[in-house]
Amino acid sequence: MKRLILTILLFGASVALGMAEDAQSLKEDANELYARKKYAEALEVYQKVVSTFPDAPEASIAQLMVGINFDLLAAEKKDPALLEKSREAFEKLIQRYPESPELESAYLYLGQAYGGFTAPLKLKDADDAKAVELLTMAVRRIERKRWICAQAKGRIAQILERQGKKEKAVEIYEEIVRSYPDTPWGKELIATIRPSMTVATGSSPGSDFPPASHSARVDDPQDLHESAFSLFRQKKFDQAIPLFQRVIEMLPNSRLAQDSQMMIGIACDGMKRPDRAIQAYEKFLRDGVSLHLRFEVVVQLLHPNIVTSFCHCALYVIT
């Protein structure tokens, strides 16, 4: 009897482990599609993670990415229906995963949507009061993610400005400069607001979609990777590459390092430096990654902007 119980327990554990591995693999596939701005394809894979593995650790971040990809597709296609789907996805995250560490991001994106920071699109029931409530929830939850805190406060200040409450808005801008000077919002406010702290007319600090803080701790490779990826999405390739390289130095045999090496190649390609891009991709292929990832990089090597032989690429795939 004891042996039977042990067998059942071991079987259950192996099944759970297999599910976790499958969910992780799917999420990584989706992340790679997202990094290449294939938002519609990435969306489908993220949705599959949530529907197939709703209780896996990867489910809540996948649900967040469903909302983000809907948001990006809405802007790309100028489709208000997709913006509504984005809102629904973020609300679903809050309801289904109330303990998720991704909640603060959901509150931020919802607050921005309700506050009308999705121009030219706008939610049907956009509401400044609702926006401030959601953005405040983001601030309360996420001191550990400084860029979100700074941006949420900045959006509240912009709403107050819009309502003619400039003095209150300036107080919040001053707080951002004091408390978060090393975030994108803090840096831009320092550059755009005069020493007297008079709000610059028409200033709209920060980007609508900064995925990570630029105030990465130098001892934290995850923070460095997020900062590098943020710079990459802003097409600041020359600034992103050194951070990706630092991640590789800190965790040379990790998945994070593999991803960073691939991103260096894509960044070099974006900078129109095909020789450096090829070198980066070849290093990526030499470092022993999965067959699936090798084919992903071969696609980059066969890009029209990079001249190389198919046989040369295939050699790396099969060895």
Q: Which of 53-62, 75-84, 260-269 has the lowest mean pLDDT?
A: 260-269
Residue 40 pLDDT exceeds 90:
yes
3-state secondary structure of 7: helix
Residue 197: inside a domain: no
Instruction: Tell me what the mean pLDDT of segment 60-74 comes to.
Output: 94
- The answer to whether residues 188 and 225 belong to one domain is no
Specify the CATH number for the domain of residue 76.
1.25.40.10
Q: Do 136 and 178 share a domain, yes or no?
A: yes
Q: Are residues 262 and 156 located together in one domain of the fold?
A: no
- At 6 the pLDDT is 39
Q: Specify the pLDDT at position 52.
A: 94
**Domain residue limits at 11:** 2-192
Residue 245: CA count within 13 A, CB half-sphere: 10
**Rounded CA separation 301/279 (Å):** 10
- The 3-state DSSP class for residue 216 equals coil
- pLDDT value of position 287: 65
Residue 61 belongs to a domain: yes
Per-residue pLDDT tens over the stretch 245-280? 888 887 777 777 878 888 888 888 888 888 888 888
236 and 142 in a common domain: no
Regarding whether 282 and 175 lie in a shared domain, the answer is no
Looking at the structure, do residues 72 and 175 belong to the same domain, yes or no?
yes
In a domain, 273, yes or no: yes
d(CA 134, CA 271): 38
Domain identity same for 80 and 178: yes
Residues 282-298 pLDDT 10s: 787 776 444 444 444 44
Q: 192, 208, 236 — which closes off a domain? A: 192
Say if residue 73 is in the same domain as residue 158: yes
Handedness of CA 31, 226, 89, 121 (dihedral sign): negative
The pLDDT mean for the chain works out to 75
Q: Is residue 133 part of a domain?
A: yes
2-35 and 39-52 helices, crossing angle to 10°: 160
Residue 173 falls inside a structural domain: yes
182 lies in the same domain as 283: no
Residue 102 lies in a domain: yes
Is 174 within a domain? yes
% of the chain at pLDDT higher than 70: 72
Indicate whether 152 belongs to any domain. Answer: yes
The answer to whether residues 160 and 252 belong to one domain is no
Residue type, 102: E
pLDDT in tens, 82-112: 999 999 999 999 999 988 888 888 999 999 9
Average pLDDT over residues 226-233: 80
Q: Which of 276, 281, 275 is nearest to 301 (CA)?
A: 281
Residues 6+ apart with CB under 8 A from 65: 30, 34, 42, 46
> What's the domain count of the chain?
2
My answer on whether 180 and 232 are in the same domain is no
* Beta carbons within 8 Å of 266's beta carbon, 6+ residues apart: 35, 36, 232, 277, 300
Residue 85 near residue 78 (C-beta atoms within 8 A):
no
Do residues 87 and 106 make contact, with C-beta atoms less than 8 angstroms apart? no
Note whether 179 and 258 are same-domain residues.
Answer: no
Q: Where among 175, 192, 209 does a domain terminate?
A: 192
CB-based contacts of 270-275 (< 8 A; 24+ apart in sequence): 270/235, 270/237, 271/237, 271/238, 272/305, 274/305, 274/306, 274/307
Which of 149, 172, 192 is the last residue before a domain boundary?
192
